Structure 1
Amino acid sequence: MKYFFSSMNYLFSIELFVQCMFPNLHQLTWARNAGMKDIICHCEGQQQQQLMSHHFGNLKVIRLWGYDKQLLPSYLFRLLALPNLQTLQIRVSCFKEMVFQSEEGGEEKPASLLLSQITELRLDFLRELMHLWKEKEGFPNLRILHVDTCSNLKGNLVPSSVSFRNLETLKVGSCNGIIKLITHPTAKSLVQLKQMSISFCGNIEEIIQGGDDDDDEISFPQLNRLELLNLPKLESFCSSGNYTFSFPSLEDLVVQDCPKMKMFSQGHSNTPMLHKVRLYIWRTDGHIREGSLNSTIQQLFRQKVCFLKFLFHLLFYNILVIGFAFHSLRVNTAEFLISW
């Protein structure tokens, strides 16, 4: 059962709302923050704990949008800390950090540590968000992470100390502040990752930022789908450091509109299951792989350069032809233009 509650005036008392809340409620979408505090904070102590566990105990999905605060309101923690909650989606809000506000002078509490039960996190249109989290361990049970249109994220998606041991799906889109998606230590923790999609990030230069271990191996044993879409400044998957990459399960690679990508990585990439590279997300056919993945990417880059040169010469030739035609154009009469 789904329930949607917006910032409208109450049609019934809070007492009646508390008593009649659906015990089988699984999904809750809450627009704006008006009314939420009144309902959650209506009861105190034992009564509040009973309210949350009894009336919201089966809640698995919470969607929040339209919040104008810089930090997560403290009263939301009582709702988001429910033991069965799995999915949290926050959209179109002004949060600067994923941190709960302090209560009466207490310390601010990081959401990534308090909401350890969350397995799916979706953040959309949070244009003020500066950090996903700063802690060493954040959302330890996270399996799905979607980040879209969070333009104030800078540098890396997360600090190098963050580990994604259980992450299976990573999607990042329209985050123009990110230069290098993740660091080498974070990449090594992605042993469960099955799908990665990076799209429309205008300033991203590489997916993995290298470190000092130039001879290290980075393995993605479960990754079967990798999408690199509309990344105008992307030069390679990893350009700093001579790493060896292992993709034993990779079957689908899409490289679409990445004009600066001359190679996949500095070092060798082991991709035994990859037989072609797709150039368009909407097409199933692709460029047949020839030799190593690096040589295939390099060949695609050379073909792209040759095609652009051909277009330039064709355009230049047409401009000359049109210019010559207009240069020799003579108009004897144009009375029809006056009548028209």
Structure 2
Amino acid sequence: GFMNLKELSIGNLEGVQDLMQVGCLVTNRRGGYELSVLSLETLHLNLLPDMRSIWRGLVPSNLTSLKVNECKRLRHVFTDSMIASLAQLKVLEISNCEELDQIIAKDNDDENDQILSGSDLQSSCFPNLRRLEIRGCNKLKSLFPVAMASGLKKLQILKVRESSQLLVVFGQDDLASPVNVEKEMVLPDLRWLFLDRLPSIVYFSHGCYDFLFPHLEKLEVYGCPKLTPEYATTSNDLMSAQSKGFMNLIKISIGNLEGVQDLMQVGRLVTNIRVGHELSLVSLELRLNLLPGLRCIWKGLMSSNLTTLEVKECKRLTHVFTDSMIASLVQLKVLTISTCEELEQIIAKDNDEKDQIFSGSDLQSACVPNLCRLEITGCNKLKSLFPVAMASGLKKLQILKVRESSQLLGVFGQGDHASPVNVEKEMVLPDLQELLLVQLPSISCFSLGCYDFLFPHLKKLEVYGCPKLITESATTSNDSMRAQSEGFMNLKELSIGNLEGVQDLMQVGCLATNRRGGYELSVLSLEKLHLNLLPDMRSIWRGLVPSNLTSLKVNECKTLRHVFTDSMIASLAQLKVLEISNCEELEQIIAKDNDDENDRILSGSDLQSSCFPNLRRLEIRGCNKLKSLFPVAMASGLKKLQILKVRESSQLLGVFGQDDLASPVNVEKEMVLPDLRWLFLDRLPSIVYFSHECYDFLFPGLGTLEVCQCPKLATKFATTSKGLMSAQSE
């Protein structure tokens, strides 16, 4: 019946105790057919709560893949008598089997399984196994006897996780006396070793067996608090063994491990060797997380091929690199450091007793020449990232993010006695595209000392919560404007917030460039602008023209009285999103250009109907001095407006208004917002009309209309004879 069956997947079936019964499920035969597994290559078993034994005498000699999940009564997967027939097995995955005691059990007529000893196994078991994954098997003490390890010649991926009672990966019973078991084991083809959330694991292997992984590329160890190394010697023999053990390692991720004080110990976590092998760093991504005992990362290791370093929650770490190793970091592309409470500096002087702050004069400008991404978060003892002398060497830096570091004074610092030679007064970060400074309460300047910075390719600038980062008023000379254009010609996104002293965008360039007399900001390329919590901002633009602006969001700028002036409206053809909220003094969105102190309300006759032709979303909230959004003459130009939300603005009289003297020409009495989908008016206690005077509005595409708590609103929203939603003035 089943002689040619190659793939079998069964799941979520009650009553199935073994594979012998599976044939009956589909043949309808009460007494058989039992399943033939002679040709079976792939077997997936899932959610079989009554399965106690998979095979019951069946021999799957052609099996290549076995995946078992949530078989909660299963106590073993194989028996020793069938192991020799599993020569084709390539993939073995077992997960969430609550009662699983062992993967391989002794054949026994008694009810209780017996633990299989290494002496019962040939080292040639599973000769083709390439992938072994175990997860959520909480009664499992070990995977295989150590005698089997030498037979796993083709094992490439070994992942073990979330198994609370696992003591070792390779185990040995008390009476085992295996013959011809080497004291040094080699897994010659292992590429990826992953151990995660194994709270009971103590060693990689039971007994005095050393392991070598000559082709290991990725090592990840997390949440194994009892897996602690002893101290190793550093003899020549040991270093030779080390190079044999980890020559191809390209990625290390370790976390939530106690007792690890430096990288020299990491190799011993998994090799099981008490006095070696330390790690060889050949070409490496290194991620260190939750290592409370880590005091020094390298301890003499060279890092010439390090490409990525991420360090997180290493609370005793005081520095990351030393000056003697900086020249070797030529391949470093990504450096991320977060939540390291004791970190005082990224680069420290080599010193046996005490770290010294590193001065710029000790550095060559060619340090970390390939660094592309630098992120620092939550390092509260850090005063600066690098000496300013290093800045000129960061030719490829594209992303620089610094946040939540309470004592940081400047991004680039200078030691007290530094006298750098050939350090230019004007620094260029030629490839920087994204700069973010957030929640840095002590930062007062971008760079300590009198150094100006240029970012010719900066596309995104975000500055929030830096109250001491204030700028003096910039000049507007031709030289300054030329420098400005050199500095910010490609800026596409700008977000600034929670800054005192910033009165307009012209000053923002100084915040980051460190230049007192300029650079004013260029907004020629600016597409997105977010302004938040700027209590001193009175005028956004001051002559700047953001002709490519697509999104403007303004929040809590309490002294701002207008957003745009009439002379710049025609240049805002690309604007798609406009959101203004909680601006207490805002009297109008568009004001007349005026040299006098007082702004004048803009009349509809000053405007062309083609204003904001691409505006899709308009939201106003909490602007209590605003009487209307736009003159009614503008309405006919809002051809693409889809979402209009106005709320919590106590003095608003109408959405579209008209000043007393306005006599707009060619303003139709019936206005159409052809693409409006959603109209929302909420908590507007003074609103009387949708539009000033006798203008009716049609919304042919309106899908959602919400009007809440607008007690004075006299405009009627109704459906016309043609079935279109309209707002009709009384």
Given the two structures, how large is their TM-score scaled by the length of structure 2?
A: 0.34
Q: CA deviation at 1:98?
A: 2.1
Whether the 8 Å contact between 2:239 and 2:278 is mirrored in structure 1 is: no
| Structure 2 counterpart SS, 1:80 | coil
| CA distance, structure 1, for counterparts of residue 473 and residue 372 of structure 2 | 23
Q: Which amino acid aligns with 1:209?
A: G
Equivalent of residue 96 in structure 1, options 295, 316, 325: 295
Cα deviation, 1:25-50, whole Å, max 9, x if unaligned, reads 34221234755759x99xx8799468
1:221 partnered with 2:430: yes
Whether the 8 Å contact between 1:2 and 1:27 is mirrored in structure 2 is: no
Please give the residue correspondences for 1:100-111 in structure 2 after superposition, counting only pairs within 5 Å: 100=299, 109=300, 111=301
**Structural RMSD (CA):** 4.1
Q: CA deviation at 1:73?
A: 5.6
Equivalent of residue 168 in structure 2, options 10, 14, 32: 10
Greater helix percent: which structure? 1
Whether the 8 Å contact between 2:228 and 2:258 is mirrored in structure 1 is: no
Q: Which amino acid aligns with 1:23?
A: L
Q: Which amino acid aligns with 2:337?
A: V
Q: CA deviation at 1:13?
A: 4.4
Whether the 8 Å contact between 1:178 and 1:203 is mirrored in structure 2 is: yes
Whether the 8 Å contact between 1:91 and 1:123 is mirrored in structure 2 is: yes
Q: CA deviation at 1:145?
A: 0.4
Whether the 8 Å contact between 1:18 and 1:51 is mirrored in structure 2 is: no
| CA distance, structure 1, for counterparts of residue 263 and residue 284 of structure 2 | 20
| CA distance, structure 2, for counterparts of residue 45 and residue 241 of structure 1 | 48
1:206 equivalent in structure 2: 410
| Structure 1 counterpart SS, 2:391 | helix
1:64 partnered with 2:280: no
User: For the structure 1 residues 120 and 208, does the alpha-carbon distance in structure 2 shift closer, same or farther, using more than 3 Å as the test?
Assistant: same
1:187 partnered with 2:391: yes
Equivalent of residue 191 in structure 2, options 19, 24, 29: 24
Please give the residue correspondences for 1:93-172 in structure 2 after superposition, counting only pairs within 5 Å: 93=291, 94-100=293-299, 109=300, 111=301, 114-138=302-326, 139-154=329-344, 156-158=345-347, 159=358, 160=360, 161=362, 163-172=367-376
| Structure 1 counterpart SS, 2:324 | coil
Percentage of matched positions with identical amino acids: 19
2:439 equivalent in structure 1: 230
Q: Which amino acid aligns with 2:456?
A: P
1:331 equivalent in structure 2: none
Q: CA deviation at 1:190?
A: 1.0
| Structure 1 counterpart SS, 2:411 | strand
| CA distance, structure 2, for counterparts of residue 47 and residue 197 of structure 1 | 40
**Length, aligned pairs only:** 285
Cα deviation, 1:91-127, whole Å, max 9, x if unaligned, reads 1112112243xxxxxxxx2x4xx12211101110011
User: For the structure 1 residues 264 and 22, does the alpha-carbon distance in structure 2 shift closer, same or farther, using more than 3 Å as the test?
Assistant: farther
Equivalent of residue 246 in structure 1, options 454, 469, 479: 454
| CA distance, structure 2, for counterparts of residue 70 and residue 50 of structure 1 | 20
User: For the structure 1 residues 264 and 89, does the alpha-carbon distance in structure 2 shift closer, same or farther, using more than 3 Å as the test?
Assistant: farther
Equivalent of residue 264 in structure 2, options 68, 71, 74: 74
Tell me, which stretches of 5 or more residues in structure 2 are unaligned?
1-155, 173-180, 193-216, 268-276, 348-357, 475-479, 498-502, 511-519, 523-530, 538-555, 560-581, 586-730
1:293 equivalent in structure 2: 509
2:284 equivalent in structure 1: 86
2:488 equivalent in structure 1: 271
Whether the 8 Å contact between 2:371 and 2:397 is mirrored in structure 1 is: yes
Cα deviation, 1:168-198, whole Å, max 9, x if unaligned, reads 1100000000122221112222111111000
Q: CA deviation at 1:228?
A: 0.7
Whether the 8 Å contact between 1:212 and 1:241 is mirrored in structure 2 is: no
Tell me, which stretches of 5 or more residues in structure 1 are unaligned?
101-108, 281-286, 315-340
| CA distance, structure 2, for counterparts of residue 187 and residue 167 of structure 1 | 11
Q: Which amino acid aligns with 2:290?
A: V
| CA distance, structure 2, for counterparts of residue 222 and residue 33 of structure 1 | 42
User: For the structure 1 residues 59 and 187, does the alpha-carbon distance in structure 2 shift closer, same or farther, using more than 3 Å as the test?
Assistant: same
| CA distance, structure 2, for counterparts of residue 21 and residue 261 of structure 1 | 56
Whether the 8 Å contact between 1:277 and 1:289 is mirrored in structure 2 is: no
User: For the structure 1 residues 147 and 3, does the alpha-carbon distance in structure 2 shift closer, same or farther, using more than 3 Å as the test?
Assistant: farther
User: For the structure 1 residues 259 and 2, does the alpha-carbon distance in structure 2 shift closer, same or farther, using more than 3 Å as the test?
Assistant: farther
Whether the 8 Å contact between 2:441 and 2:468 is mirrored in structure 1 is: yes
| CA distance, structure 1, for counterparts of residue 473 and residue 225 of structure 2 | 46
Q: CA deviation at 1:302?
A: 10
After superposing the two structures, state which structure 1 stretch, 170-179 or 22-31, moved more.
22-31
| CA distance, structure 1, for counterparts of residue 243 and residue 426 of structure 2 | 51
Q: CA deviation at 1:61?
A: 1.2
| Structure 1 counterpart SS, 2:382 | coil
| CA distance, structure 2, for counterparts of residue 265 and residue 205 of structure 1 | 21
Q: CA deviation at 1:204?
A: 1.1
User: For the structure 1 residues 291 and 263, does the alpha-carbon distance in structure 2 shift closer, same or farther, using more than 3 Å as the test?
Assistant: closer
1:338 equivalent in structure 2: none
Whether the 8 Å contact between 1:71 and 1:99 is mirrored in structure 2 is: no
Q: Which amino acid aligns with 2:535?
A: K
User: For the structure 1 residues 194 and 260, does the alpha-carbon distance in structure 2 shift closer, same or farther, using more than 3 Å as the test?
Assistant: same
| CA distance, structure 1, for counterparts of residue 533 and residue 220 of structure 2 | 49
Q: CA deviation at 1:69?
A: 3.7
Q: Which amino acid aligns with 1:187?
A: A
1:258 equivalent in structure 2: 466
1:319 equivalent in structure 2: none
User: For the structure 1 residues 4 and 62, does the alpha-carbon distance in structure 2 shift closer, same or farther, using more than 3 Å as the test?
Assistant: farther
User: For the structure 1 residues 50 and 149, does the alpha-carbon distance in structure 2 shift closer, same or farther, using more than 3 Å as the test?
Assistant: closer
